[in-house]
Amino acid sequence: MKRISNEYYRAGSTYLSEEAIKEIKSFSVSDIPSRVMEYMENRERKQQLVTSSRLSYQNSNEFWDKKIEKIYDLYSKLPY
């Protein structure tokens, strides 16, 4: 546990790597500090949120692309 504590509890750490999560999950539940478990759950929630935000952004772009295409089609039909 000492190596994980030194590597992942320092102030500059932003997230746990996949490798670190696998290593932590390999410990028995009594060996894992509750802070680490809470952090992993929060990280997983954040990843789900980021994924859903990306999908929402992508869908929004597709929506606007279709609207823009319709506008261009209308302009192309105008007599000059």
- Distance, in Å, from the CA atom of 55 to the CA atom of 40, rounded to the nearest integer, reads 23
Query: CA-to-CA distance for 9 and 39, rounded, in angstroms?
Result: 11
pLDDT > 70 fraction of the chain, expressed in percent and rounded? 49
pLDDT exceeds cutoff 60 at 1: no
Residue 60: per-residue pLDDT: 76
Query: Where do the domains of the chain lie?
Result: 2-77
Question: Is the pLDDT confidence value at 42 over 70?
Answer: yes
Q: Is the pLDDT of residue 21 over 80?
A: no
Between the alpha carbon of residue 54 and those of residues 2, 19, 43, 44, 48, the distances in Å are: 37, 24, 16, 15, 10
Q: Which residue has the higher pLDDT, 10 or 46?
A: 46
Please tell me which residue, 65 or 46, carries the higher pLDDT value: 65
